[in-house]
Structure 1
Amino acid sequence: MTTKSLGNPFSDKTDLRHGADCGCDGCLAGHGHDAGHAEPSMMSSEEMLERAVESAVVRSVFGHNDIGRRSFMGMLGGGTVAAALASVFPLDKAKAAILDNLGDPEKTDLNIGFVPITCATPIIMAQPMGFYERYGLNAQVIKTAGWAVARDKSLSGEYDASHMLTPMPLAMTLGAGSVATPYIMPAVENINGQAIVLSNEHMDKRDPAQWKGFTFGVPFEYSMHNFLLRYYVAEFGLDPDVDIQIRVVPPPEMVANLRAGNLDGYLSPDPFNQRAVWEGIGFIHTLTKDIWEGHPCCAFAAPLSFAEELPNTYGALLKSIIDATQYASNPANRKEISEAIAPTNYLNQPVPVIEQVLTGTYADGLGEVKQVPDRIDFDPFPWHSMGVWILTQMKRWGYIEGDVDYKGVAEQVYLAADAKKVMEDLGYEAPDVTYKSHTIMGKTFDPADPEGYVKSFAIGKG
């Protein structure tokens, strides 16, 4: 995902595209803005929205031709152009109208649950790096042992919002595994970022067909980890409900269970995959990005009632999360982020372990150092098609039964319109569509035919 500049649109020294070959003074100096104006990361939310309005209007006038815009600004001067534009378009009124519609957060003191994994990076880093404060919130992120606890504390109201796995708000809305409660997921946290780890005792068993009788850990039943592990072994002819055992193990307990011999392997979030290598007890069999490139994993979720009763607070929180997610998507920021989220009250992991995950330069436990920059990435857009795929796997493996309104449920829970609006308000690009095909282990998933997809598999219950 590319980031649109929030630099001064009336300056001929600012390239609003900021692509890989950007030659503006700011980018050549190592920062994407005109030196005479505030850096976007230091702006208040109001200043950022005002700049976004100015940028949108100027882009439209110049037909999104940034070379033409810069040339014109250089000839006439930005001040002259701004005055001329203001005479025909009420910029100040447009900015004021947007700000008036926002309102102050109804509630500023928030409790946000998180499970200590790198997938939660945006939610965690938003506290020590000031993203919540930027949008007027005093949010406390609270470490939680596992997702059953996170779910229950969210349902009880102890948490205002929470880090969740992308299948969880779908399951909670449908009443799968809990009392049916309408939940929303307006933003994905991370894509990719998981791995299958095997004990060092199984270095000679790299073919999944050899895994009959193995016991694997996953962090939760309603998780991408569970569904990707099931999908993976089934493609090699194993029935995950017959040929292997799958146990729910909280992520912080994965390594200890592998060491004790309680697990032969696990499909887990990081940093616990890398921690097994660090401890010398396991190796990375495969990254989940090699099963499904760009798959979703974790998300920001909340009860629907939170957004309905506290709309301004919800909006400010969503801006905080999306802004932090976009910051995390820049590889240049990953080492800084690793240090911010390493302390005891967050991930409680050595900084080098986190850096290996976030930078993609890591030891695989098999004697090689890998270079995989997108081992984990961060993209907030909640594709409806991803929600439909998750529902197909819930149906395939018997977690939900009967007729399923795949499209209706995905669109009710995954609030793509909210994500798109906030992304564009903050100056980021967002997709114009919410459905696309996905390829998982070479097989194309067409979201237009979910039931046909479920029935296409030889192994499954659906």
Structure 2
Amino acid sequence: MDTPKFPDDKIDNKRRKLIKTGLTTIGGVAALGMLPGSLRSVVYAATGGVETTKAKLGFIALTDAAPLFVALEKGIFAKYGMTDVEVLKQSSWGTTRDNLVLGSAANGIDGAHILSPMPYLITTGKMTANNQPVPMSILARLNLGGQCISVGNEYANLKLDVSAKGFKEAIATKKASGKPVNAAVTFPGGTHDLWMRYWLSAAGIDPNKDISTIVVPPAQMVANMKVGSMDTFCVCEPWNRQLINQKIGYTALTTSELWHNHPEKAFAMRSDWVEKNPNATQALLMAVMEAQMYCEKKENREEVAKICSDRKWIGAPFNDVVDRLKGNFDYGTGRVVQDSPEQMRYWKDFASYPFKSHDLWFLTEDIRWGYLPAATDTKALIDKVNREDLWRKAATALNVPAAEIPASTSRGVEKFFDGKVFDPENPKAYLDSLTIKYMA
């Protein structure tokens, strides 16, 4: 292979040798970290280190999918040799699941922007057709926080917030009158379902008895609220802000008010794809991580909002997207927070690293609500699905500073707004502290 020619002649002999030998193994990918950033991606593409240049990745029209949009729009996938990546819009999380089960060989997809619990529910077959298990691998977390719980103008006088004060009585009165009361989420056992259930149950509202939990695709939330199909919903942006802009309802809380900097979406691939294409997996992961760094920077947020609003991505007005992507929250109740500490994070605060302790919380909550059996071997399942080891290799290749790489697979003890505590070393104590639960 010819040595790539670079304008900078100051490359030392060691680096020249590295370039000439080619980077055709996972170790070679890690060795990219020895090169300056301006050379690293060129070398990776030039050496033909990837087993395939193709990957089909799904996304839902939400702002936490922005790293995938940016990685494609800014040429970052191509920069790492993945020149034929398709980023494909899915109509719902159920569609995402079904297409992952199919895989690209059967006209499905290889990986996706996905609710963090879903790779576990797919791997175990608990949320697939005919309970068919399809092993999945979580490669990175895509973001922290950034979701909201909204309510309709029917409850405008309550000015609901994280405490949900008065909501239990209001929905009980409505229910007693014979009218349906619905809370909309996006996928059973997914993040939005768990945030909604946590918020309601903390206020003494039983999500299985006092209100009906229904599943609605994210992009259909506002339209359904407009026709009165639901009383409250939980979803990512831009749909909460759009609800306010259309004067249909308001934001009660952003979900990081429930749990500061909570984990949210993940970047996951079918495990068979990862096993077959280890170098391409690393290339995709490096590209996504670089895109997350780009999305995190304040000076890029307006551009990221413009990208997100494009029809081929979210397809929502720019004004529905930009404010909250920049961290500015008008709740629609007179409450306004600029540069909110609870805004979405793409990279800061270890946003990209997939902590195993966070996956344990998701599994514990899915056990709480009966989506997974109480006897689930959570450690074995997490060790199978969570590939934080690949994230660390990618971080090394990208020369991520040591201060931005967690020392442990656990973020430690987590505290919630209502005083509950989740200790990853003792999830049973957390479960025992919860009053409302439906364990199988």
TM category, shorter: 0.7 to 0.9
Q: In the alignment, residue 118 of structure 2 is paired with which amino acid? A: M
Structure 1 SS opposite 2:23: helix
Partner of 2:414: 438
1:267-325: per-residue Cα shift (whole Å, max 9, x none)? 11111001101111110101101001111111111111000011121111111111111
Aligned pairs, how many?
Answer: 376
1:151-205: per-residue Cα shift (whole Å, max 9, x none)? 1111101112111100000111122111111111111111101111010111123
1:307 equivalent in alignment to 2:252: no
| Aligned partner of 1:170 among 100, 120, 129 | 120
Question: Are the counterparts in 1 of residues 114 and 266 from structure 2 also a CA contact under 8 Å?
Answer: yes
If asked which structure has higher relative contact order (CA below 8 Å, sep 6+), I would say: 2
Task: Describe how 1:10-21 pairs up with structure 2 within 5 A.
Answer: none
Question: Are the counterparts in 1 of residues 219 and 239 from structure 2 also a CA contact under 8 Å?
Answer: yes
Distance apart, 1:398 and its partner CA:
0.6
Distance in structure 1 (CA, Å) of the matches to 2:289 and 2:22: 19
Q: In the alignment, residue 311 of structure 2 is paired with which amino acid? A: T
Flag structure 2 segments of 5+ consecutive residues without an equivalent: 1-9, 27-47, 159-165, 173-179
1:222-254: per-residue Cα shift (whole Å, max 9, x none)? 311111111111111111100111100000100
Distance in structure 2 (CA, Å) of the matches to 1:457 and 1:200: 31
Distance apart, 1:210 and its partner CA:
3.7
Q: Which has the larger radius of gyration?
A: 1
Q: In the alignment, residue 25 of structure 2 is paired with which amino acid? A: N
Q: In the alignment, residue 149 of structure 2 is paired with which amino acid? A: I
Q: Quote the sequence identity (%).
A: 30
Distance in structure 1 (CA, Å) of the matches to 2:13 and 2:78: 33
Which piece of structure 1 moves more, 304-313 or 418-427? 418-427
Question: Are the counterparts in 2 of residues 420 and 431 from structure 1 also a CA contact under 8 Å?
Answer: no
1:184 equivalent in alignment to 2:137: yes
Structure 1 SS opposite 2:310: coil
Structure 2 SS opposite 1:99: coil
Distance apart, 1:208 and its partner CA:
4.8
1:331-369: per-residue Cα shift (whole Å, max 9, x none)? 221111111221111110111221112101232211343
Distance in structure 1 (CA, Å) of the matches to 2:81 and 2:246: 41
Question: Are the counterparts in 2 of residues 192 and 294 from structure 1 also a CA contact under 8 Å?
Answer: yes
Distance in structure 2 (CA, Å) of the matches to 1:124 and 1:311: 23
- TM-score normalised by the chain length of structure 2: 0.81
Flag structure 1 segments of 5+ consecutive residues without an equivalent: 1-85
- TM-score normalised by the chain length of structure 1: 0.77
Structure 1 SS opposite 2:221: helix
For residues 141 and 91 of structure 1, do their structure 2 counterparts lie closer, same or farther at Cα, with a shift above 3 Å needed? Answer: closer
Structure 2 SS opposite 1:216: strand
1:399 equivalent in alignment to 2:374: no
Q: In the alignment, residue 308 of structure 1 is paired with which amino acid? A: E
Structure 2 SS opposite 1:112: strand
1:96-140: per-residue Cα shift (whole Å, max 9, x none)? 778343552222122211110011111122111211111111212
Task: Describe how 1:232-311 pairs up with structure 2 within 5 A.
Answer: 232-311=199-278
Partner of 1:320: 287
Runs of 4+ in 1 over 4 A off after TM superposition: 88-98, 206-209
Distance apart, 1:402 and its partner CA:
3.7
Task: Describe how 1:50-449 pairs up with structure 2 within 5 A.
Answer: 99-102=23-26, 104-137=49-82, 138-157=84-103, 158-178=108-128, 179-205=132-158, 207-208=167-168, 210-212=170-172, 214-371=181-338, 372=340, 374-378=342-346, 379-428=351-400, 429-435=404-410, 436-441=412-417, 442-449=419-426
